[in-house]
Structure 1
Amino acid sequence: MSEPKQKHSQISTPLLQLLQQEDQVVIDNGMFQLTLTNPGGKIIGIQYNGIENLLELKNPVLNGGFWDLNWSVPGTVGTRGKFDEIEGNSFKVIVETEEQIELSFTRTWDPSLQDEYSPLTIDIRFIILQDSPGFYSYAIYEHKEDMPAFNLNETRIAFMLSVEKFRYMAMADDRQRVLPLPVDREPPRGKELAYPEAVLLVDPVEPEFKGEVDDKYQYSCENKDNKVHGFICLAPPVGFWQITPSNEFRTGGPIKQDLTSHVNPTTLAMFVSTHYGGQDFVIPFGTGEPWKKVFGPVFIYLNSVEDKNDTLSLWDDAKERMHKEVNCWPYSFPSSEDFPKDDQRGAIRGRLVVSDRYISKEHLPARGAFVGLAPPGDAGSFQTECKGYQFWTNSDDEGYFSIQNVRPGDYNLYAWVPGFIGDYKYEKPIAITAASDVDTGELVYAPLRSGPTLWEIGIPDRSAAEFYVPDPNPQYINKLFVNQPANSFRQYGLWERYADLYPDQDLVFTVGSSDYKKDWFYAQVTRKVGDNAYKPTTWQIKFNLESIDQTGSYTLRIALSSATFSVLEVRVNEEETNPPHFSSGLIGSDNTIARHGVHGLYWLFNVEVAAGQLLQGENIIYLKQARSVSALHGIMYDYIRLEAPPLSAAHY
C-alpha cells in the first residue's frame, strides 16, 4: 500500500485556540476542532477535513464521546448495576499556551446523590497539542475516606461516530470490514439470538449482509494487542482511531480480553470490565477505603488522504502512529502530579529459567515468558487484580526480561511460561522508586511436577486454540472469518455443533491413537435435550498402562483456559461413583463460550490418583461437566497430563 498523503501535513504552524462559552468549550489547533460541553466535559463535536462532525448526536440513547462507568451497591449479585455517564460539575483550564491546552472537567461526590451516582471524585482531562492531529484524554478516579462502599463493574471512554460516515471498521490486519447498519440489528430487520449482543441479520438494508451474525464480541482483543482500532469514512477518506499506548492502567494482565470497535459505529477504550472474567473482575470498595487511579491517557488520532484509492492505507498510517505513541510513553505533557513522568519511574530486569528435572538436567531458558509486575498477592493473582497498575513484557529466547517505565510502588513479580503449567511468583517483594533499576539476577521457576509424563493432551499455553474448532452452522456466519483458521473460533453458535458431531454419545479420546487437534472438541459444553433443557456431558480419556507402580501416587494435572458456572468432576475407572474422585466445585463466570473466545481465566487442578485406582491394561478417566442449566455453561481445557509416581534420583 502507498503511504497516505496526510492533508494536515500541509499545515506548518497552526494556531492553538481556546474559546470558552457559557455551555461549551471549543478548541481548535488548525487541523481539527473539538467541542465539549461546559462543565460536563462530554464531547459533542469533532470537526475535521471538511466533515462538520465526526460524531453521532441523533442516537436514541448514547451520543457523542464520553466517559462512563457501571457500578452497584455492595451485595449485588452479578456484574451489572447502574449506568453512570460521567459529567463534570466544574470546569477548569489547567494549561493554556501556544503549544498545549489541557482542560479539566471534575465531578465531585455529592452524598445527597448517593443512589444516583457512583461514590467517586472523577477528574476528566483533555489535552490538545499545537501540531497534533488528534487529542488525548485521561481521568483520575478517587475514592475517599468519606465515601460509602460500592462495586465498580466497568469504566471506559466511548465514541459514537456518525452513522452516515463511518462504516468500515479496522482493529487488526485480519479483522476489518464494512459493518452493517445499526438499524439492521433492530427487529424486524434483526433477530436476537441466544443473548442480546448476537443478532441474525434477516432483512438488512443492504442485502449483502443477509444471513450474517453481528456480535461486538467477535471483535474482542487481548490487552497486549489492543493498541489501535477504529473506523474509516470512505467519502471523504478519513480515519478515526483510538490508540492506547500502554496497558499499565488496564486490569487483568496482558491476555485479558476486551471490546474494541463495533456496529453503531462505536469505538471504545476499556479500562475496567467484567468481560471474559465475570464476577472476578468486579472491584469492591469498602466504606472509606482510600483509592486513586489514573486511566489513560489514550489518544484519538485523526488522519485523511486525498486519493480515494489510498483510503485503506489509513489503517497502515494509524498503526505507524500507534508505534510512535508507544515509543513516547510515558508522555511528558500531562500536567497532573498523579501521572509520573519518565524520570519519576523505575525499571526492573533479570533472567527467568525453568527447572524441570524430568525434561532436562539443566535449567531451561524461559523463552517467551510473560513476566510482569502487579500489586502484591498470591501466584496468579494478577489475573483478577483490578485496583492497581500492572507492567508486563515477554522474555527473549534466553529468558532475559526488562520492564521499563514502572510507576513507583510495591509489587510482586509474576510470570508464566508457554509450554509449562502453572504460575511463578518471585518470593521477594519489589519496591520501585524513581529512577531505580532493579536487577533480580537469575530466577528459577520449578513448575509443578511429581513424576515423568505418561501422556498429555494439548499445549500448556492458557488457550484452547489448538483443539478442534468446528465449522459454524451455515445459518450463523460472519463472512469475515470464513477461510480464516486463526479466527475460526470467533464464529457464533459453535457450542451447538458439539451435539451435531456427537449426537448419541460423548467424546472419547484414546491416548496413542486420537489427535487432540482433530478429536478434542474445543469446549466441553452441555447437550440440548429439549426446547430449553440440557444435560451434562461426560468425556472419556482411555489409556493403557503396562504395569502399575505401587510405590507412590499418580498425578493428574488439569489446566482450564475457561469456566462458566461449571462443576468439573473427575472419576477414575468408575463412571458412576459418588462422590467423584475430584470435584472443582462451582467455578467461573467468564462467559468465554458465548463470547467467541478460547480463553478466559486460567485454572489449574492437581488430582492425586492412588495406584489402587488404576488397572493394568486399559484405564478410563471420566471428565464430567456436571452443571447443565444453560447451553452456554461449560469449560475449555488448556492442557491435561498424567504423571507417574516420582522416580528416585538414580533414574534421572
Structure 2
Amino acid sequence: MTTQGVQLIIEDSHAVMDNGILQVRISKPGGFVTGIRYNGVDNLLEVLNERDNRGYWDVVWSEAGSTGTTGTFERIVGTSFRVIVENEELVEISFTRTWDSSLNGKLSPLNIDKRYAMLRNSSGFYSYAIFEHLEEWPAFNIPQIRIVFKLRKDKFHYMAIADDRQRFMPLPDDRLPGRGQELATPEAVLLVNPVEPEFKGEVDDKYQYSSDNKDLEVHGWISSETPTDPATGFWVIIPSNEFRSGGPVKQNLTSHVGPISLAMFLSAHYAGEDLVLKLQPNEPWKKVFGPVFMYLNALLDNDDPLWLWEDAKIQMTKEVQCWPYDFPASEDYQKADQRGSVFGTLQIRDWFLSDDYIPAEGAYVGLAPPGDAGSWQRECKGYQFWTRVDEEGSFSISNVRCGDYNLYAWVPGFIGEYWNKLVLTITPGCQINVGDIVYEPPRDGPTLWEIGIPDRSAAEFYVPDPNPKYINKLYVNHPDKFRQYGLWEKYADLYPNEDLIYTVGVSDWTQDWFFAQVTRKEDDDTYQGTTWQIKFKLENVEASGTYKLRLALATANVSELQVRVNDPKEDPVFTTGVIGKDNTIARHGIHGLYRLYNIDISSVLLVEGDNTIYLTQAIATGPLQGIMYDYVRLEGPPIPFP
C-alpha cells in the first residue's frame, strides 16, 4: 500500500487528484471527469468521446405544468472552481454553477455544487453534489438526476451487477443500424450482425439490468486481460439509499452496454410521473446526493478476474460500514454526530391467522417525509431511511438526518401499509423509542380463497419461456426469467381464442396465472382488452352479507381494471379508472408501484354453488399496457364476536 499523501495538481483547464494509486483528471471549471489513470492504463474512460462525455453529472428538467417523464437533458457544467480541502489525507474540490433570471428557460433553475474527493491510500474517489432551489425561483420539474461513467469499449467487456447477474457484454457498435434491429422500444435491440458472432440473435436492453435500490449497492465492469494490461475493475459503490427516491424497492438502472456505469439518484423508471420531482411556486428545496464511491481494483497474485467482483463486494461492505462518512466538507452533509436514531418493535395483528400478536419478521420499516399510507414510494424530495425487522420484531434505524418524518412499514406476506401519522422530529444524538407498534393488515372476514403471495411482486406467477428469437443468454435457466424480452407476446400464444380462466381449488397460480394481464394483438394489428375469470364455489351465501375482494397490484401501465361478478355484461361493481404509467412490462420488470383495492361484493351478487369474478383490463391501444397482480383474496362477511 502506498504511503504517498494526496496531491492536487491545478492546471489551466484541469485539476488532477493523485494519491499514488490512481489519478483522476477533472476539467475546470466544468467539473467533468475526463481521465482516470490506474494500474498502468493511462485512461480507463472512453478516449474516443468528447471530454464532457466521459464522466459527468446530468439532470433532466421540464417547465412547471409539463406532464410525463421527459424534458430537457442537461449535463451540469460548472462555472466556478474552488479547492475546499487540500492536505495529505484528503483533497476535496468543488465545481459550482449558479442560476439567475437571465438563464430562465435555458438551464434548470438550480444552484448546483459538484464535489469530488480523494483520500490517502484509497483505491478510488468520491463524488457528491448539493442541489438547491430558492423560494423566489420558477417552479419546475425534475424527472432525473444521475452520475454517468463511460468506460473504454476496447477494454471493458465483462459486466457484473450481482452474483448471478454478470456476463460478457456486446459492444455499443452492435446496437447501431446494420448490426442491430430496434424492437418494440428504442432501448431493446436485436443483435443481427454483431462484431462478435457469439452475440448474434440476442436482445440487448439496458432495462434488463435494473435492480431494486435495496440490492443496488455495487456494480461495474472488469477489463479484458492482455499480456500488457492486467485485468482491472471499475465499480460504482452506493453506500446508502438515504438520498435515492422511492424507497427500498424502487428500481433503477445500473450498468449497461457502452460500457456505461450509472449512479441513479432520481428517476421515474418503473413508476412514471408519480416520481417526477415537482417544485411548486415559492417552494425552496435543497438536497445532498451522495457521496458515492468509484472503486478501482486490479489483479495481484490472484489470476481469476472474477476475484475483482468479490473484492468489490468486500469494499462495498466497508463503505456501508463507514456511512455516514466523516470527510465530506459541505455543511449540508450531516455527519454521524448530527444525526439521530429510532428503534422499536413491530408486530402484526390478524385475527384470522392467530389470536396472538405475530412478530413482523422481515418487514421493511422506514422513516420518510410526512405523508400518508404508502406515500414513501412516491416521495422524491427528501431523505428516506429503511431497515429490516428481525425475527423477534425488533428494528433500529440509525444515522437519520435531522428533520421531520413519519414512520412507515410494510410486511412481506401481508397486504397493505403501516403508517403512523405522528411526526417524529430527529435532532442530533436523539434516540427515539417508538415502543411496541402494531400493524393490523386489512381484514374484514375469513379468507375464502387467495391467489398469489402478498409480496408486492408478480414473480410467483407463471412466467413463460421467451421466444428463442429474442433471448438474453444471461437469463436462460435463471430465476429472473421475467427479464427476457417480449414475454407479453406469449400471452396470445397461450390463450389464442379465449382469456385466462382460473379455477380455485384446481388451478395452480405458479402455472395457470400469467404474470401480466396484457392486451391481445388481433390479425389487423389492433389490440383488444382481456378479461380473466376466477371461478369458485360457495357452499353457503350469507344473506345480506358483504364479502370483500382484495386486489393488490404489483404494477400498472395505462390500464383500467374492471370487476364484475357472475355477469360479464353488467356494469362493473368496481373500476380503478385509468391507472399507472409504470412501463414495467416494456422494461422487463416484475413490479412497479404498489396499489391495493378493497372492494365490497354484496351477497345478492353471489350464488350458492358456482361463481365467477371477471377481471377486465379494458384499455387496449398497444402491446405494452396491462397490470401485474401481486395478490388476490376473497373474504367472507365479518364474523360477529361474542
Q: Is the 8 A contact 1:560 1:602 kept in 2?
A: yes
Aligned residue for 1:323, secondary structure, equals helix
The equivalent of 1:74 in structure 2 is 64
Aligned residue for 1:289, secondary structure, equals coil
- State the shift of 1:333 in Å: 0.3
The equivalent of 2:109 in structure 1 is 119
The equivalent of 1:556 in structure 2 is 549
- Structure 1 residue identity aligned to 2:408: Y
The 5 A counterparts of 1:100-139 are 100-139=90-129
- State the shift of 1:312 in Å: 1.1
Tell me if 1:251 matches 2:241.
Answer: no
Aligned residue for 1:569, secondary structure, equals strand
Tell me if 1:521 matches 2:521.
Answer: no
Aligned residue for 2:421, secondary structure, equals coil
Aligned residue for 1:560, secondary structure, equals strand
Identity %: 61
Aligned residue for 1:649, secondary structure, equals coil
Tell me if 1:226 matches 2:216.
Answer: yes
The equivalent of 2:624 in structure 1 is 632
- Structure 1 residue identity aligned to 2:56: F
The equivalent of 1:584 in structure 2 is 576
Q: Is the 8 A contact 1:62 1:160 kept in 2?
A: no
- State the shift of 1:308 in Å: 7.2
The 5 A counterparts of 1:569-608 are 569-578=562-571, 580-608=572-600
Tell me if 1:565 matches 2:558.
Answer: yes
Q: Which residue, out of 449, 452, 468, partners 1:474?
A: 468
**Which shifted more, 530-539 or 193-202?**
530-539
1:89-131 CA-to-partner distances (Å, cap 9, x unmatched) read: 0000000011100000001003222222100000000011111
- Structure 1 residue identity aligned to 2:75: E
Instruction: State how far apart, in whole Å, the 1-side matches of 2:503 and 2:47 are.
Output: 59
Instruction: State how far apart, in whole Å, the 2-side matches of 1:559 and 1:286 are.
Output: 32
TM-score, length basis structure 1: 0.97
- Structure 2 residue identity aligned to 1:536: G
Tell me if 1:609 matches 2:601.
Answer: yes
Tell me if 1:283 matches 2:277.
Answer: yes
Q: Which residue, out of 131, 147, 151, partners 2:137?
A: 147
Q: Is the 8 A contact 1:55 1:63 kept in 2?
A: no
Q: Is the 8 A contact 1:237 1:308 kept in 2?
A: no
- Structure 2 residue identity aligned to 1:283: L
- State the shift of 1:398 in Å: 1.4
Q: Is the 8 A contact 1:79 1:282 kept in 2?
A: yes
The equivalent of 1:34 in structure 2 is 24
1:443-485 CA-to-partner distances (Å, cap 9, x unmatched) read: 011111110000000000000000000000000000011111x
Aligned residue for 2:138, secondary structure, equals coil
Tell me if 1:464 matches 2:458.
Answer: yes
The equivalent of 1:212 in structure 2 is 202
Q: Is the 8 A contact 2:34 2:51 kept in 1?
A: no
Aligned residue for 1:316, secondary structure, equals helix
- State the shift of 1:77 in Å: 2.2
Q: Is the 8 A contact 1:55 1:64 kept in 2?
A: yes
Relative distance call for 1:317 and 1:330 in structure 2 (3 A) is: same
Q: Is the 8 A contact 1:234 1:308 kept in 2?
A: no
Aligned residue for 2:157, secondary structure, equals strand
Relative distance call for 1:483 and 1:205 in structure 2 (3 A) is: same
Q: Is the 8 A contact 2:32 2:51 kept in 1?
A: no
Tell me if 1:268 matches 2:258.
Answer: no
- Structure 2 residue identity aligned to 1:138: Y
**Which shifted more, 77-86 or 55-64?**
55-64
Instruction: State how far apart, in whole Å, the 2-side matches of 1:57 and 1:122 are.
Output: 27
Q: Is the 8 A contact 1:571 1:577 kept in 2?
A: yes
- State the shift of 1:531 in Å: 5.3
The 5 A counterparts of 1:392-403 are 392-403=386-397
Tell me if 1:187 matches 2:181.
Answer: no
Q: Which residue, out of 341, 351, 356, partners 2:345?
A: 351
The equivalent of 1:301 in structure 2 is 295
The equivalent of 1:546 in structure 2 is 539
**Which shifted more, 430-439 or 526-535?**
526-535
1:200-234 CA-to-partner distances (Å, cap 9, x unmatched) read: 00000000000000000111000011000000012
- State the shift of 1:18 in Å: 1.0
- State the shift of 1:532 in Å: 3.4
Q: Is the 8 A contact 1:201 1:209 kept in 2?
A: yes
Structure 1 gap ranges (5+): 1-8
Instruction: State how far apart, in whole Å, the 2-side matches of 1:396 and 1:411 are.
Output: 22
1:226-257 CA-to-partner distances (Å, cap 9, x unmatched) read: 00000001222100000000000000000000
Q: Is the 8 A contact 2:64 2:139 kept in 1?
A: yes
1:486-527 CA-to-partner distances (Å, cap 9, x unmatched) read: 111010000000000111100000000000000000000000
The equivalent of 1:373 in structure 2 is 367
Tell me if 1:426 matches 2:420.
Answer: yes
Instruction: State how far apart, in whole Å, the 1-side matches of 2:49 and 2:36 are.
Output: 16
- State the shift of 1:288 in Å: 3.1
1:55-83 CA-to-partner distances (Å, cap 9, x unmatched) read: 01324897210000100011222100000
Instruction: State how far apart, in whole Å, the 2-side matches of 1:606 and 1:344 are.
Output: 42
**Which shifted more, 68-77 or 246-255?**
68-77
Instruction: State how far apart, in whole Å, the 2-side matches of 1:443 and 1:500 are.
Output: 48
The equivalent of 1:4 in structure 2 is none
Q: How many residues align?
A: 638
- Structure 2 residue identity aligned to 1:474: P
Instruction: State how far apart, in whole Å, the 2-side matches of 1:551 and 1:329 are.
Output: 58
- State the shift of 1:287 in Å: 2.7
Instruction: State how far apart, in whole Å, the 2-side matches of 1:294 and 1:576 are.
Output: 54
Q: Is the 8 A contact 2:143 2:268 kept in 1?
A: yes
Instruction: State how far apart, in whole Å, the 1-side matches of 2:455 and 2:67 are.
Output: 32
Q: Is the 8 A contact 2:499 2:531 kept in 1?
A: yes
Aligned residue for 1:426, secondary structure, equals strand
Q: Is the 8 A contact 1:143 1:288 kept in 2?
A: no
Instruction: State how far apart, in whole Å, the 2-side matches of 1:551 and 1:398 are.
Output: 41
Instruction: State how far apart, in whole Å, the 2-side matches of 1:252 and 1:79 are.
Output: 15
Q: Is the 8 A contact 2:370 2:421 kept in 1?
A: no
The equivalent of 1:409 in structure 2 is 403
The equivalent of 2:79 in structure 1 is 89
Runs of 4+ in 1 over 3 A off after TM superposition: 59-62
- State the shift of 1:306 in Å: 3.5
Q: Is the 8 A contact 1:353 1:442 kept in 2?
A: yes
Tell me if 1:533 matches 2:533.
Answer: no
Q: Which residue, out of 482, 486, 489, partners 2:482?
A: 489
- Structure 1 residue identity aligned to 2:265: F
Relative distance call for 1:396 and 1:308 in structure 2 (3 A) is: closer
- State the shift of 1:283 in Å: 0.9
- State the shift of 1:309 in Å: 2.7
Aligned residue for 1:631, secondary structure, equals coil
Aligned residue for 1:102, secondary structure, equals strand
Q: Is the 8 A contact 1:57 1:63 kept in 2?
A: no
Structure 2 gap ranges (5+): none
Relative distance call for 1:62 and 1:80 in structure 2 (3 A) is: farther
Instruction: State how far apart, in whole Å, the 1-side matches of 2:79 and 2:315 are.
Output: 34
RMSD of aligned residue pairs (Cα, Å): 1.1
Aligned residue for 1:518, secondary structure, equals helix
Instruction: State how far apart, in whole Å, the 1-side matches of 2:523 and 2:405 are.
Output: 51
Q: Is the 8 A contact 2:408 2:419 kept in 1?
A: yes
